[in-house]
């Protein structure tokens, strides 16, 4: 079997750069920031891997049920299912397991920063794969942000918790890059299946590592699971994948600098966490780097300096439509 080589995509110079929709991105990142609080609460009543698996399975089942009711077109062919499965294993199985374990082994606020390092991790892959140019400004943000991550990781609990949170960030970054390979598929169906497949794999790992699930079905746990599954995963992932198809990846992921801000505020307000010393300096440094990366860029056409593969985008999505009888995807 020959190995599959991922090559840079040649962009269409006729397409103009699209910026992420601010209202949608504000909602996504704020919801993701709140997720870290609900993860911390839910882990008091459930084991790490089973909790993460339940989050993905419920979210995937909810989206697939909605898709079947709306008669959405399902993925077809080995190639489509291969990309959906790979995205699920990376963006769900690895990312969710590492994210939940990171929260369990690190202060919630620090975990929120480390697990949302996408703006710093995606810059080079976006340049290589999609020709999204790396400016001096974003390169500086990359260096400063990495320094901030080191400050958070070493004195801020460090060890496995920090490493797992960074692994979660890397997996989510890879999932965002892979999501563009799903551009020809209905976004609701593709998102639902990738969550279900990733959740099933995660449940299998949980069974091997943690054994049969021992869960206290308290009101606190039910609230945490419902929020994480429906708001924090199903709804936000569909919206994120739609934006990943149409916007520059550096502009898109830079919005996630708001996620750790919400996570830190929630940890301070509800959990009484107080980042101090070099931890606080590291958190502030990372957030400043993310803010720099988010700053306004010069408008360019989508040629050598920008790079979504227009050929991978269905015309219905470019026009804001869906893939089923003109129904909007979101």
Phi-psi domain of 18 (left: phi exceeds 0; alpha: psi -120 through 50; beta: other) = beta
Query: Taking the mean position of all CA atoms in its chain, how far away is CA 176?
Result: 6
Q: Is the pLDDT of residue 201 over 90?
A: yes
* DSSP result, 104-115: HHS-HHHHHHHT
pLDDT for 78 equals: 95
Share of the chain above pLDDT 70, in %: 73
What does the block give as tokens for 20? 């992420």
Task: Give the separation between CA 74 and CA 167, rounded to whole angstroms.
Answer: 31
> 175 versus 316: which is more confidently predicted?
175
Q: Is the pLDDT of residue 60 over 60?
A: yes
- Ranges of each domain in the chain: 32-295+303-308
| CB-CB neighbours of 299 under 10 Å | 9
Query: Taking the mean position of all CA atoms in its chain, how far away is CA 97?
Result: 13
pTM comes to 0.75
For 274-315, what is each residue's pLDDT tens digit?
A: 666 676 777 778 778 777 766 665 444 343 333 333 333 333
pLDDT for 260 equals: 72
Q: What are phi and psi of 313, to 5 degrees?
A: -95, 125
């Amino acid at each position: 079997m020959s190995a599959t080589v991922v090559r840079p995509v040649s962009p269409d110079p006729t397409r103009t750069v699209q910026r992420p929709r601010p209202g949608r991105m504000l909602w996504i990142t704020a919801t993701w920031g709140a997720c870290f609080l609900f993860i911390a609460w839910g882990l008091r009543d459930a084991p790490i891997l089973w909790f993460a698996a339940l989050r993905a399975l419920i979210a995937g089942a909810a989206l697939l049920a909605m898709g079947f009711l709306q008669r959405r077109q399902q993925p077809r062919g080995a190639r489509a299912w291969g990309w959906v499965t790979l995205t699920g294993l990376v963006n769900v199985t690895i990312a969710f397991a590492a994210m939940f374990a990171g929260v369990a082994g690190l202060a919630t606020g620090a975990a929120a920063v480390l697990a949302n390092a996408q703006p710093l991790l995606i810059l080079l892959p976006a340049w290589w794969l999609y020709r999204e140019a790396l400016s001096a400004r974003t390169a500086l943000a990359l260096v400063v942000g990495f320094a901030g991550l080191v400050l958070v990781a070493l004195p801020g609990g460090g060890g496995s918790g920090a490493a797992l949170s960074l692994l979660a960030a890397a997996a989510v970054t890879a999932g965002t890059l892979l999501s563009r390979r799903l551009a020809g598929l209905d976004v609701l169906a593709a998102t639902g299946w990738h969550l279900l497949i990733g959740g099933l794999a995660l449940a299998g790992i949980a069974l091997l590592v943690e054994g049969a699930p021992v869960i206290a079905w308290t009101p606190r746990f039910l609230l945490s699971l419902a929020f994480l599954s429906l708001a924090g995963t199903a709804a936000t992932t569909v919206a994120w994948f739609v934006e990943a198809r149409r916007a520059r990846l550096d502009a898109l992921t830079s919005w996630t600098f708001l996620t750790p801000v919400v996570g830190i505020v929630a940890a301070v307000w509800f959990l009484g966490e107080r980042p101090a010393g070099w931890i606080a300096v590291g958190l502030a440094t990372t957030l400043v780097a993310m803010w720099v990366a988010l700053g306004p860029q010069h408008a360019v056409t989508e040629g050598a300096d920008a790079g979504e593969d227009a050929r991978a985008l269905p015309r219905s999505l470019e026009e804001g439509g869906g893939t089923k009888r003109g129904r909007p995807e979101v």
